[in-house]
Amino acid sequence: MLSVPHDAIDADAICAELMEGGGAVRITGLFTPDQIAEARRIIMAHSDREGDKVTHFQGAAMEDGRADLQRRVWNLLAKGDVFSDMATHPAIMGILRKWLGSEFIMGSIAANRILPGGPGQEPHIDFPYWDFHLPETHPMGLNASFPLNAQVTIALDPFTEKSGATAYLPGSQKHLRYPTPNDHAQFYDTCARMTGVPGDVVLFFGAAWHCAMPNHADHDRNAVLINYIPKWVKPLEDMPAALPPGFIDNASVDMRQLLGLDYRYPEVLDTADAINAEGIR
């Protein structure tokens, strides 16, 4: 995987790698130990208390009483300021303004915790492609010639092959196809791994086949997962509806953009009352 230090970012080279290369880029040392510790503390506390909130990509976690070994924490913006700082990091904003268009938004910000013994997920692609196993529900001819998604994975624990670092199939983003069970053997035989240390980030095109892998280590494997989308794609999480009072009033310019608050559509352009008052049907 192309690996770049956080202070030597070349957005054009990264976009080319996402589109025409392996589909994933590691940015090392983007977040400080204090930010990582704070994010991890909050995620562990929520997932200890609330348990499993996984809605998709559960792999074998539903079998053999292992449902609780993958835990999701949703709506992170409401759970700590550190997550706003992560989502709006200037390096991420700069790259994604090129990749997804200057007014891109955020589709979701959640955490995925794989506990020791957790079996990982099945290979998949991410929102808004995540139900592309039903291609007929998407526009005819949809392909990966332009991106509808960028995924950011922030490692909060050592991401090693043993601890279940995300697996992905380099180059698979170019073909935009949902991996079927028949593809799984090839996937597991030829996948690469998104390894890294806490504070590293992997930015990838979510059309690449990927999944969390089984955690055989003796420690939890926590990650913040951020989904970014073009301004006109409907987000996965309704974040504005779930934020605490005052959050939106105090939001930065970049956060307002990510929440889609500055994108005006859909908009009421005429009301039924106005039409009826004229007596026109």
Ligand X SMILES: O=C(O)CCC(=O)C(=O)O
Complex with ligand X: residue 31 or 257, whichever CB lies closer: 31
Strands 2-5 and 24-28 turn out to be: parallel
Answer for the pair 100, 230: CB distance below 8 angstroms, yes or no: yes
In the complex, least distance from residue 225 CB atom to ligand X, rounded to whole angstroms: 6
CB of 54 to ligand X, least distance (A): 8
Scan for tokens 């608050």, then name that residue: 261
Amino acid in the structure at residue 146: F
Structure tokens at 185: 């053997």
CB of 226 to ligand X, least distance (A): 11
3-state secondary structure the chain: CEEEECCCCCHHHHHHHHHHCCCEEEEECCCCHHHHHHHHHHHHHHHHHHCCCCCCCCHHHHCCCCHHHEEEECCHHHHCHHHHHHHCCHHHHHHHHHHCCCCCEEEEEEEEEECCCCCCCCCECCCCCCCCCCHHHCCCCCCCCCCCCEEEEEECCCECCCCCCCEECCCHHHCCCCCCHHHHHHHHHHCEECCECCCCEEEECCCCCEECCCCCCCCCEEEEEEEEECCCCCCCCCHHHHCCCCCCCCCCHHHHHHCCCCCCCCCCCCCHHHHHHCCCC
Q: Which is nearer to ligand X, 160 or 166 (CB)?
A: 166
CB of 75 or CB of 112, closer to ligand X: 112
Q: Which is nearer to ligand X, 25 or 223 (CB)?
A: 223
Per DSSP bridges, beta strands 105-114 and 70-73 are antiparallel
Write down the least CB distance from residue 167 to ligand X, Å.
Answer: 8
**Closer to ligand X by Cβ: residue 148 or 251:** 148
Centroid of chain to Cα 27: 15
- Residue number, 178 or 247, with CB nearest to ligand X: 178
Which residues contribute to the site for ligand X (CB under 6 A)?
57, 112, 126, 166, 210-212, 223, 225
Closest distance of CB 195 from ligand X, Å: 11
Judged by beta carbon, residue 54 or residue 251, the one nearer ligand X is 54
Cβ 8 to ligand X, closest distance in Å?
25
If the CB atoms of residues 99 and 159 are measured against ligand X, the closer one turns out to be 159
The distance of closest approach from Cβ of residue 212 to ligand X in the complex, given in angstroms and rounded to an integer, is 3
CB of 126 to ligand X, least distance (A): 5
